[in-house]
Structure 1
Amino acid sequence: MTSSTTRYRIGLAANRAHQDAPNSALVQLLQGSRARIEALQPELVVVGRTLDAIGHLGLLPGYPHIERFPYGRQGGLMKLVSRVVDSDPARMLDAIIYLIDPVDPSSTFPEAVALKRQCVIHGKPFLSTLAGAQEWFELEAIAGGAAPDPARDGSFRLADEGIALIAHDSMKTRMLQLAERHFDVLDSFGFRCATGTTGGLLNELAVKIKGEAGRNWVKPFLSGPLGGDAQIAELILEHECRRVLFLEDPHVARQHEADIQLLERAARTVTGYASCMSDEKWGDRWLTLINQRQVR
């Protein structure tokens, strides 16, 4: 949150398939997280058609903190990008919820790609799955003093959960620092995996901390360019790995961009199950908050 007295400002959009059905991701998010929204009282900056769907479906009746942005075809997503980078606290967005349908081509438009990239650059959560958005509301409400929602206990039994830890070359040192800082909570996961070099480095860190017991702390897959992302994507699709912490460097050209997109696409395919975090700042806060929320 921008300050202790300023409410969150959240950009909200959803692809068409996540808007229209009575059990759509948008419905599940706003109905299932209504108590959290009431507790946090965020200002929701909503792209046109998504706001139309909210009204048509009777979601958030009477909620006072909503700003309407234009339809996507009229620049709504472009304006969200601008607000992510804005330095004015009255205009800037603290997080983006963009519920992406993996088969909707609009999610590959330049404004959609730029929206995620600028969130990564500016250290703001980019939440593109239902599970990720639900978890954000849960954790931030708890950070604000709310009691845990027992209905969500299942996904916070970390001993039964898997997490993937991935980092671009320029971010590997930061991943190691993050993992060392939050080693206890990462150690409480039942399963950890990583691509190539990152996995080897994390196992070295675990040996330093745990001795021989840390030798196979992380299951290493192939490097990303050789298919490691695809191997982890299969785990996501099989509901064996719910969360991905992928420290991306948005400033370098990435020859294996398709592999990265495959990993995100897998999470969005099982939108109610999986989530991806793509920047160090949100990853650090997420690990702090999930440690508070986990069911032991």
Structure 2
Amino acid sequence: MKIALIAHDKKKNDMVQFTTAYQHILKNHELFATGTTGMRISEATGLSIHRFQSGPLGGDQEIGALVAQNKMDMIIFFRDPLTAQPHEPDVSALMRLCDVYAIPLATNMGTAEVLIHGLERGDLQWRSILKQ
């Protein structure tokens, strides 16, 4: 499965902790991330990650384009709801695309853990059927 990993600045440490804890699951999938988030995850875990631009420079939109083409299966996006983001319209557009195309989206650690355990159990295999 193709999984995008995104984290706002104040949530990057949480994303590194999450990916470190679940690298045994994530290593079996194709990973994508926005700029600095991808670099930090890769440095901490050694996981192979395709990196896009940072979010404010268009990374969220690059991932959104893959969603619109049915080329992304899951997004884990640790958002910081307490800090204004200069690219908030891009964040909203990405979330809207996930709803339009039925892409599982976690915006916090609790939901991300539910998705990652579902991924491990095979609960998300329906994504493969949609691609046929």
TM-score (norm: length of structure 1): 0.40
Structure 2 unmatched runs, 5+: 126-132
Displacement of 1:262 in angstroms is 1.5
Measure the CA separation in 1 of the matches of 2:5 and 2:94: 12
Q: How many residues are treated as equivalent by the alignment?
A: 124
List aligned pairs for 1:174-253, cutoff 5 A.
174-189=14-29, 191-207=30-46, 214=47, 217-253=48-84
Measure the CA separation in 1 of the matches of 2:115 and 2:96: 21
Q: 2:120: which partner in 1?
A: 291
Q: 1:147: which partner in 2?
A: none
**Structure 1 counterpart SS, 2:83:** coil
Measure the CA separation in 2 of the matches of 1:240 and 1:278: 20
List aligned pairs for 1:20-169, cutoff 5 A.
161-169=1-9
Q: 2:109: which partner in 1?
A: 280
Over the matched positions of the two proteins, sequence identity in percent amounts to 30
Displacement of 1:290 in angstroms is 2.3
Single out whichever of 279-288 and 191-200 deviates more from structure 2: 279-288
CA displacement 1:232-290 (0-9 Å, x = unmatched):
0011111111110000111111111001012112222223xx12111111112321232
Measure the CA separation in 1 of the matches of 2:53 and 2:27: 22
The aligned amino acid for 1:202 is I
Which structure has the larger Rg over C-alpha atoms?
1
TM-score (norm: length of structure 2): 0.87
- After TM superposition, where is structure 1 displaced by more than 4 Å over at least 4 residues in a row? none
Measure the CA separation in 2 of the matches of 1:289 and 1:263: 22
Q: Which is bigger in relative contact order (C-alpha 8 A, separation at least 6)?
A: 2
Measure the CA separation in 2 of the matches of 1:193 and 1:289: 19
CA displacement 1:57-83 (0-9 Å, x = unmatched):
xxxxxxxxxxxxxxxxxxxxxxxxxxx
Aligned-residue RMSD, C-alpha: 1.5
Displacement of 1:174 in angstroms is 0.6
Measure the CA separation in 1 of the matches of 2:42 and 2:8: 17
CA displacement 1:133-191 (0-9 Å, x = unmatched):
xxxxxxxxxxxxxxxxxxxxxxxxxxxx10000001111001000001111111111x1
| C-alpha contact (below 8 Å) 1:182/1:288 kept by paired residues | no
The aligned amino acid for 2:40 is L
Measure the CA separation in 1 of the matches of 2:87 and 2:72: 22
| C-alpha contact (below 8 Å) 1:196/1:223 kept by paired residues | yes
Structure 1 unmatched runs, 5+: 1-160, 208-213
